Amino acid sequence: MKQIILTGDRPTGRLHVGHYVGSLKERVQLQNSGGYQEIYIMIADAQALTDNAEHPEKVRQNIMQVALDYLACGIDPEKSTIFIQSMIPQLTELTFYYMNLVTVSRVQRNPTVKAEIKMRNFEASIPVGFFCYPISQAADITAFKATTVPAGEDQEPMLEQCREIVRKFNEVYGETLVEPKIVLPSNQACQRLPGIDGKAKMSKSLGNCIYLSDEPEEIKKKVMSMFTDPTHLRKEDPGHTEGNPVFIYLRAFSKPEHFTEFLPEYAGLEELEEHYRRGGLGDVKVKKFLNNVMQAELGPIRERRNMWEQRLPEVYEILREGTKKAEAVAAETLQDVRRAMKIDYFDSGNLMKLS
Ligand code: ATP
Ligand code: MG
C-alpha cells in the first residue's frame, strides 16, 4: 500500500519551537527518509477560522508566515505538497457527509476539544464550526488517503475520532477510506512541550511561545525569564527536574555535542540533572546553557527563513502549485465517496430507472 502523509498547522501565528519538536522535525525526517510516496502539508486556515471568525486578517497574514516556517525547517516543496485548506472545497463537502456519522456526545467526549473549549472560555458559546473541527480534520486526512499523520500528543484523540469515522463510513457505504495512524515524536519531552510560563502546552493562543523566527536577543530574554522549580530558591537548595520546563526543554533540544561545546564540565544531561536535584546548581547557569542550545538549534532555521523571505513570489507559487495538486487528489477521493454513498447521480444514466 502507498504510504501517504497528511499533516498541518493552523495559521494563527508564526510557528513555535513546540511545533518544531512536536511535529515539524519529524515531518522533515520522514520526508527525507524516502519511505513515503506522497506528503501533504496543509495550512489549516478553515480550521483556524472556527475560533477566529472575527479575525480573518490574522489568519490571512499568517498563511505566508507558516509557509516560511515550513521552508525554514527543511520542508522541501519538491518532495512535499504544501497547500491551503480553504482553497479546496472538496474538504468542506466531505466534512458535511462525515457529520452524519458522528454523534454530538462523541465530539463532546473528545478530550482535546474539551481542553480547548476550556482554554478559549467558550463554555456557553461554542461556535458550531469549532465543535465540528475534529470531523473536518477527518475529512482533511481521508481526502488524501493518508496512512500517517506526524503530530503532537494533543492530536491523538483527533486521530481516534478520524479512525472511527473511517470505520463507520466503510461499514455503511463499503470499503472506501483509509485508516490513518499517528506518529508521535519518540522523545517524550517533545510530545507536548510546555510554554515558557510553565503552562502545560506551548500554544500560539496562549502567548507563551519561543517562535522559530525570534531574534537571538528575544530567545535569550525568553529563556532567561522561564519558569523553573519554585521550591529551588537558593542555589544550594535541592531542586526538581521533573516537570521543570527548563529541563524539559533541555531533554527536547540538547545534544551531546552541546555539552562538549558549551558545558564541558558535565558529561551530559543526566549528570546536570543529578547536580540540580542534589543542590548547588543555580538556575541561571542552566538557563544560560539552554540559551546556547536554543541559539545553536534555531540559528540555521532563522537563516533559511531570511533567505526565503527574499523570495516571496517563489513561496506564493509553491502554495499555488501545491494547492492545485492537492485539489486534484481530493477531487478523486470525493468522487469515490459520492459513488460509495450513491449520490453520484449524473455519473451514469441510472437515475432514470424507476424502482
Ligand atoms: P493554536 O493555539 O492556534 O491551536 P497551536 O500552537 O496549538 O495553535 P496547532 O496549529 O494547533 O498549534 O498545532 C499544529 C501541530 O503542532 C499539531 O501537530 C500539534 O500537535 C503540534 N503542537 C502544537 N503545540 C505543541 C507543543 N507545545 N508541543 C508539541 N507539539 C505541539
Ligand atoms: Mg492547537
Output the CA torsion 326→327→329→335 (10° steps): 160
d(CA 124, CA 48): 20
Q: Which residues contact 147 (CB under 8 A, 6 or more apart)?
A: 1, 2, 3, 4, 5, 178, 180, 181
Q: What is the pLDDT of residue 152?
A: 87
Ligand 1 within 6 A of 116 CB? no
pLDDT tens digits, 309-348: 999 999 999 999 999 999 999 999 999 999 999 999 999 8
pLDDT tens digits, 11-29: 999 999 999 999 999 999 9
Q: What is the pLDDT of residue 100?
A: 97
Mean per-residue pLDDT of the chain: 95
Q: Which of 131, 98, 138 is nearest to 114 (CA)?
A: 131
Q: Is the pLDDT of residue 63 over 80?
A: yes
Q: Which of 73, 71, 72 is nearest to 22 (CA)?
A: 73
Question: What is Dmax (Cα atoms) for the chain?
Answer: 87
CB 208 within 8 A of CB 187: no
- Nearest listed ligand to the Cα of residue 26: 1
Q: What is the pLDDT of residue 207?
A: 86
pLDDT tens digits, 212-225: 999 999 999 999 99
CB 290 within 8 A of CB 246: yes
Q: Is the pLDDT of residue 206 over 90?
A: no
Query: pTM for the complete prediction?
Result: 0.94
Which of 54-63, 131-140, 228-237 comes out lowest in average pLDDT? 228-237
Q: What is the pLDDT of residue 80?
A: 98
* Mean pLDDT confidence for 117-133: 89
Ligand 1 within 6 A of 184 CB? no
* Mean pLDDT confidence for 123-128: 87
What is the distance in A from the centroid of ligand 2 to the CA of 331?
27
Ligand 1 within 6 A of 8 CB? no
Q: What is the pLDDT of residue 43?
A: 98
Range 175-181 contact pairs with CB under 8 angstroms and sequence separation of 24 or more: 176/336, 176/337, 176/340, 177/142, 177/145, 177/337, 178/4, 178/142, 178/145, 178/146, 178/147, 180/6, 180/141, 180/142, 180/146, 180/147, 180/148, 180/149, 181/147, 181/148, 181/149
Confidence of residue 119 (pLDDT cuts 50, 70, 90): confident
Q: What is the pLDDT of residue 159?
A: 98
* Mean pLDDT confidence for 48-73: 97
d(CA 292, CA 294): 6
* Mean pLDDT confidence for 62-90: 98
CB 195 within 8 A of CB 203: yes
In residues, how long is the chain? 355
Grid coordinates given for 20: 518544531
CB 176 within 8 A of CB 169: yes
pLDDT tens digits, 241-299: 999 999 999 999 999 999 999 999 999 999 999 999 999 999 999 999 999 999 999 99
Q: Is the pLDDT of residue 133 over 90?
A: yes
Q: Which of 230, 212, 218 is nearest to 301 (CA)?
A: 212
Q: Best substitution site from 5, 7, 10 to test ligand 1's pocket, by max atoms within 8 Å of Cβ?
A: 10
Task: Report the nearest-CA residue for atom 20 of ligand 1.
Answer: 152
Grid coordinates given for 44: 489549516
Q: Is the pLDDT of residue 355 over 90?
A: no
d(CA 9, CA 47): 9
Q: What is the pLDDT of residue 200?
A: 81
